[in-house]
Structure 1
């Protein structure tokens, strides 16, 4: 029997749940859903729930001995926030505490800005052109 995934959720480790709640609700207009005990918070208002999970810096991340580090880091998995007005979204994110790493750049498919949250997680703001990614189809 085949199984089809019809939805997904996003989990994001943070060292300070209260500070992360303030940042993500202010930067992206998300709202608190459920508090799942003292160390987890559900944020709603996006296309999928975002779960903030409190995990201290230096705590075990894998069974192989990797530990969590909240300095700025790179990962191949990150959030792209699709926005209608990239200038307004950028101003809002920076005002909430995001760091702008690359200013707004034009691409064939739209515009992009690269930022990081106060916890070292990189993310992008994307405003698609009318063609969007179809501008890349050959």
Structure 2
């Protein structure tokens, strides 16, 4: 089984600029003005142009809002060097919400992208999560 990652954004060009600069992804295909495929990670990421205030379906009353928001689903970017990745992400427009912290399994920093989505940068150390598993 494979999976695809879809990220709604209100400004497709700005989202492409952010993701290619912050995570060194590259544009695969463009789907007119509606979407862009980004490659370079373990799964394709599709940036989907969805206007602020729109709904996902007629049955959903919640509307898209690109201010900073919390969602139980987010991306963790596993990087070789958290400090280098953090500088690159911030230069591309990310906002640091929690400075890097070190744990038994590795290091983590919490950030938000310019579209209100939270994400983490992870750098595994030693045996990674195996350091804390039974």
| Alignment TM-score, normalising by the size of structure 2 | 0.97
- Do structure 1's residue 39 and structure 2's residue 8 form an aligned pair? no
Task: State how 1:104-115 maps to structure 2 within 5 Å.
Answer: 104-115=100-111
Q: Tell me the residue number matched to 1:72.
A: 68
Q: Tell me the residue number matched to 2:20.
A: 25
Number of residues of Structure 1 aligned to a counterpart in Structure 2: 133
The alpha-carbon deviation at position 47 of structure 1 amounts to: 0.4
The alpha-carbon deviation at position 136 of structure 1 amounts to: 1.1
The alpha-carbon deviation at position 38 of structure 1 amounts to: 1.2
Over the residues paired in the alignment, what is the CA RMSD in angstroms?
A: 0.7
Q: Deviations over 1:61-80 (max 9, x none)?
A: 24221110001011111000
Q: Tell me the residue number matched to 2:45.
A: 50
Q: Deviations over 1:74-124 (max 9, x none)?
A: 111100000000000000000000000000001110000000000000000
Listed as ranges, the gaps of 5+ residues in structure 2 are none
Q: Deviations over 1:2-59 (max 9, x none)?
A: xxxx210000000000000000000000000000121100000000000000001001
Q: Runs of 4+ in structure 1 displaced over 4 angstroms?
A: none
- Do structure 1's residue 122 and structure 2's residue 118 form an aligned pair? yes
Distance in 2, matches of 1:66 and 1:114, equals 25
Q: Tell me the residue number matched to 1:92.
A: 88
Please give the secondary structure, in 2, of the residue aligned with 1:11.
strand
